[in-house]
Structure 1
Amino acid sequence: MNQYSKTGTLLKSRQENKWLLVFESLLTGLLTGLVITGFRLSISYIKNIRVALYGVIQSTGALGVVLALVSLALIGLFAGFIITKWPMIKGGGVAQIEGVFMQKLQFSPLCELPLKFIGGVLNIGLGLSMGREGPSVQLGAYVGDAVERLGKRSFTERVCLITAGAAAGLSATFNAPFAAIVFALEDIHHHLTPLLLACVMAGSFAGDFAGSIFLGSGPIFRFFTTVEFPLSQFAWLIGLGMFVTLVGHGFKQSIYFFQRCYKTLHIPPILRPMIPFLLSLPIGLWHSYASGGGDGLIKALTEQQSFPLTMLLMFLIVKLLFTGISAGSGAIGGIFVPLLACGAVSGALYATVLVHFGLLAQEHVTTMILFGMAACFTTVIKAPLTACVIVFETSGAFHQLSGLVLTCFTAYLTASFIGSQAHDHILLAQIFEAEQGNTHSLSGKHGTYHPQLYELPIGLQSIVALKKIRETDWPQKCRIVGVIHGEEETIPDGNTVLYPGDKLVVLVEDDTGFLLEQLTGLTGEQVH
Structure 2
Amino acid sequence: MDSYSKTGSFFKKRQENKWLLVFESLLTGLITGLLITVFRLSITQVKNGCAALYPLIKNTGFIGGCLALTVLALVGLFIGFIITKHPMIKGGGVAQIEGVFMQKLQFSPMLELPLKFIGGVLGIGLGLSMGREGPSVQLGAYVGDAAERIGERSFTERVCLITAGAAAGLSATFNAPFAAIVFALEDLHKHLSPLLLACVMAGSFAGDFTASAFLGSGPIFRFFPTVTYPLAQFAWLVGLGMFVALVGHGFKQSIYSFQRLYTLLHIPQILRPVIPFVLSLPIGLWYTYASGGGSGLIKALTENSFPLTSLLMILVVKLLFTGISAGSGAIGGIFVPLLACGAAGGAVYAKVLVHLGFLQPDQMTNMILFGMGACFTTVIKAPMTAIVIVLETSGALPQLSGLVLTCLTAYLTASFIGSQAHDHILLEQILESEHYISAQTEHGKKSGPQLYELPIGLEAPAALKKICEIDWPNKCRIVGIIHGEKEAIPDGTTVLYPGDKLIIVAEDDDTGRLLGKITALTT
Smaller-chain TM-score bracket:
over 0.9
Q: Partner residue of 1:264?
A: 264
Shift of 1:3: 2.4
What are the residue-to-residue correspondences of 1:231-310 with 2, within 5 Å? Answer: 231-304=231-304, 306-310=305-309
Q: Partner residue of 1:497?
A: 495
Q: Partner residue of 2:100?
A: 100
Shift of 1:446: 7.2
Provide structure 1 residue ranges, at least 5 long, that are not aligned to the other structure. none
Verify the 8 A CA contact 2:33 2:172 in the aligned structure 1. Answer: yes
Shift of 1:357: 1.3
Cα separation, 1, equivalents of 2:440 and 2:228:
51
Verify the 8 A CA contact 2:104 2:444 in the aligned structure 1. Answer: no
Equivalent residue for 1:473, pick from 471, 474, 495: 471
Q: Partner residue of 1:332?
A: 331
Q: TM-score, normalised by structure 1?
A: 0.98
Verify the 8 A CA contact 2:103 2:444 in the aligned structure 1. Answer: no
3-state DSSP of counterpart to 2:505: strand
Residue 314 in 1 paired to residue 302 in 2?
no
Cα separation, 2, equivalents of 1:211 and 1:4:
45
Shift of 1:435: 3.8
Cα separation, 2, equivalents of 1:458 and 1:97:
22
Q: Partner residue of 2:69?
A: 69
User: Share of identical aligned residues, percent?
Assistant: 78
3-state DSSP of counterpart to 2:7: helix
3-state DSSP of counterpart to 1:270: coil
Q: Partner residue of 1:169?
A: 169
Cα separation, 2, equivalents of 1:96 and 1:509:
24
Cα separation, 2, equivalents of 1:80 and 1:448:
31
3-state DSSP of counterpart to 1:443: helix
Cα separation, 2, equivalents of 1:302 and 1:448:
52
Cα separation, 2, equivalents of 1:79 and 1:218:
33
Q: Partner residue of 2:415?
A: 416
Q: Partner residue of 2:462?
A: 464
Verify the 8 A CA contact 2:245 2:413 in the aligned structure 1. Answer: yes
Cα separation, 1, equivalents of 2:91 and 2:485:
38
Residue 352 in 1 paired to residue 333 in 2?
no
What are the Cα deviations for residues 324-360 of structure 1, in whole angstroms up to 9, with x where unaligned?
A: 0000000000000000000000100111111111111
Shift of 1:509: 1.5
Q: TM-score, normalised by structure 2?
A: 0.99
Provide structure 2 residue ranges, at least 5 long, that are not aligned to the other structure. none
Write the letter of the residue equivalent to 1:67: L
3-state DSSP of counterpart to 1:442: helix
Shift of 1:264: 0.2
Q: Partner residue of 2:192?
A: 192
Write the letter of the residue equivalent to 1:202: A
Q: Partner residue of 2:364?
A: 365
Verify the 8 A CA contact 2:464 2:497 in the aligned structure 1. Answer: yes
Cα separation, 1, equivalents of 2:13 and 2:458:
30
Cα separation, 2, equivalents of 1:352 and 1:463:
49
3-state DSSP of counterpart to 1:332: coil
Q: Partner residue of 2:224?
A: 224
Write the letter of the residue equivalent to 1:265: L
Aligned alpha-carbon RMSD (Å):
0.9
Q: Partner residue of 2:322?
A: 323
What are the Cα deviations for residues 401-426 of structure 1, in whole angstroms up to 9, with x where unaligned?
A: 00000000000000000000000000
What are the residue-to-residue correspondences of 1:29-108 with 2, within 5 Å? Answer: 29-108=29-108
Q: Partner residue of 2:390?
A: 391
Cα separation, 1, equivalents of 2:331 and 2:22:
31
Cα separation, 1, equivalents of 2:445 and 2:418:
41
What are the Cα deviations for residues 244-294 of structure 1, in whole angstroms up to 9, with x where unaligned?
A: 000000000000000000000000000000000000000000001100000
Cα separation, 2, equivalents of 1:352 and 1:138:
38
Cα separation, 1, equivalents of 2:285 and 2:415:
39
Cα separation, 1, equivalents of 2:369 and 2:445:
51
What are the Cα deviations for residues 165-193 of structure 1, in whole angstroms up to 9, with x where unaligned?
A: 00000000000000000000000000000
What are the Cα deviations for residues 34-82 of structure 1, in whole angstroms up to 9, with x where unaligned?
A: 0000000000000000111111100100000000000000000000000
Q: Partner residue of 2:114?
A: 114
Shift of 1:438: 4.0
Cα separation, 1, equivalents of 2:456 and 2:6:
27
Verify the 8 A CA contact 2:284 2:291 in the aligned structure 1. Answer: yes
Structure 1's consecutive aligned runs of 4 or more residues displaced over 3 angstroms after TM superposition are 435-438
